[in-house]
Every structure is written in C-alpha cells, then in structure tokens.
Amino acid sequence: MTKIFFATDIHGSEKCWKKFINAGMFYGASTLVLGGDMTGKAIVPIIKEKAGLHRAYFLEQEHELKTGQDLEHLTQAVRDRGYYPVHLDIEEMGALEKDKSKQEELFKKETLETVGNWIEWAEERLKKTRIPCYVCPGNDDTFEIDELINQSEYIELVEGKVVQLPLDYQMISTGWSNPTPWNTYRECSEEELESKIRESIDKLDQVKPAVFSIHPPPYGLGLDEAPELDENLRPKYAGRALIPVGSTAVRKLIEEYQPRLALFGHIHEAKGMIRCKNTLCINPGSNYEQGVLMGALINLEKDRVGEYQLTTG
C-alpha cells in the first residue's frame, strides 16, 4: 500500500503551501500532489506615510502600523491569506493606481517571487524527507510559473506528463480548464481540453492502474457545483442557486477510461467524493483564505484504491 496526499487551489496562501509540504510527514504520505492554482488573487499595498508609520487596508479594515513587529505581523497575515503584500510610498501608490500595466507587471513579479521563495522553502524540507512532490499549475497560474518549478530539484512539474507512482500506478495531470467567466490563463474549449487529456491518456500503459489529476471537475457529478452568477458576476439568490460548472470533456473521459482514482479542484465550494463507474472521484475543496489546507489522503493498493479521507489541515 502507498499513501498519497492531494491538495489544490492554495491561491497564494503561504500557510497552505507550507502545510502542503509538511503534510507528507504529518499524514505519513509517500507522495504529494498539488492540483493547481498556486497564484494569489490580490495585492495589498502597505503604504509608508512617514518614518515609523505604515498604513494598510486589509480585510476592509484600516491598519496603522507603528512598529516593525506590527509591519511583520500584517505582512505575514497578508501572505497567509493568499494575497501579496507590497510596500509602497504614497507616490508609488498613486502611480500604480493609475497604470493598469504596472499593476499587471507587479502581479507577475509578486507571483514569481512568491513561488520562487516557496520552492526554496520546500526544497530544504523535501531534501530531508525525500517525499516526491508533483505540482501541476492550474488555470489561474501564469505560464512563467512552470519555468520556475522546472528548475526545482525536488518538485516535479507534471502538466501533460505521465508520472510513475508506487505500486505501478501512473498519473496524468493537467491544469487546463473549460472556459470560465474570468478568462484566465489556461482555459480552452471542451474539445481542446478533451484533446489535451487524450494526448496524456494515449501515453499511459493500458495495463497499469491510472490516476487522473485534472484541475476542472467533471460536469454534473456534484464535485462542480458553484453559485449561479448573473451577467455582472453577482451570485444569484444570495449564492444559493447552485449549478454544475464542470467540464463535459472530463466527465466523458472519466466514464470512458475509468481510472481508479481521479483528483480534481477548481471549484472550491464543491468538496466531496463520488464513485463514477469504477473511478473514485475526489474534490477536496479549498479554504485557502482561512489558511486551512483541505486535502485528500488516499491509500493506493495493488488491486484497488483503498481507504481515503478528506482532511481539514
């Protein structure tokens, strides 16, 4: 038996990243798999007003930071929540507010710096634990992230690859998703998505058991229920009208190929598991803003997928 730990959608939360790297030792897992979307969604400007006084607006509250300790605490709180703290003076802030391209540049810079730091932090630990760690960026991640991960000695970028897991299991992965209303980096049509996943499936040894790690969940199996939105991206009926938003291509391929295990993410609120024909499908969900690492711990056995549990670390 071998135990794998899967988590996804940590969206810039430093706390969740560190928990993910430590999860191997904590849960006794022999393999770590991250399902995508490492990138944060917001920048929090920390503005230096004068010597010894910084001001920041975080969680819709104004924070007056008078000591180095205050500054350090807030910076870490911002990072743990998945946002990027950026230190600016008043003039820089003014310039940034006016210039969208500067904002984009800043996002890219912060994203890459953060992922770079994360990899450095993780390598120190993984060097000691020797637990294999597989990462596949998701639809919200810029492509430059792939290059950073590729440079790592201990973290393997697995987009489009077939990875050999213990007990002869083999895993394919993709972070591409069906279209979303946000027009993110790795989106494509259902047809293109099917073709991308098929390319990976074609590389599988048909005799060996398979694990699919695919960012978007299959359509209509309950792992893809998200609030219905109006044309202004406002949740209808206060978010209670849930609709399936998963990928029809993913559903088709799961039903057709029937891997033993399929791991998904993307829809944070659709935590759950379900059997689809011979496949155990899991979406562990995400609570990255609270610094809570949602995950799935799965025992792979030679002839079957054994016991599993959804964790709230």
Q: Which is nearer to other proteins, 76 or 150 (CB)?
A: 76
Interface of this chain with other proteins, residues 164 to 193, rule: CB under 8 A: 177, 180, 182-184
Beta strand pairing call for 225-227 and 261-263: unpaired
- At residue 76, φ and ψ (nearest 5 deg) are -70, -40
Q: Which is nearer to other proteins, 70 or 269 (CB)?
A: 269
Residues in region 62-91 near other proteins by CB under 8 A = 62, 77, 80-81, 83
Report DSSP letters for 215-245, one per residue. Answer: SSPBTTSSSSEEE-B-TTSPBGGGGT-EEE-
Binding of other proteins at residue 137 (CB under 8 A)? no
283 contacts 292 by C-beta, under 8 angstroms:
no
Nearer to other proteins, 203 or 234 (CB): 234
Give how many residues touch other proteins by CB under 8 A: 84
β-pairing, 294-300 vs 305-312, is antiparallel
Cα-based angle 45, 47, 53 (whole degrees, multiple of 5): 140
140 binds other proteins (CB under 8 A): yes
Q: How is residue 20 written in tokens?
A: 């993910």
The binder of other proteins chosen from 23, 165, 171, 300 (CB under 8 A): 23
Q: Which of 237, 256, 278, 304 binds other proteins (CB under 8 A)?
A: 237
Per-residue interface string for the shown chain with other proteins, residues 96-125, x marking contact by CB under 8 A:
xx--x--xx-xx------------------
Residues 212 to 231 in contact with other proteins, rule: CB under 8 A: 220-222, 226-229
Is position 27 an interface residue for other proteins (rule: CB under 8 A)?
yes
Residues 218, 223, 224: CA angle, nearest 5 degrees: 70
Q: How far apart are CA 2 and CA 166, in angstroms?
A: 7
Residues 264-283 that bind other proteins (CB under 8 A): 266, 268-269, 271-276
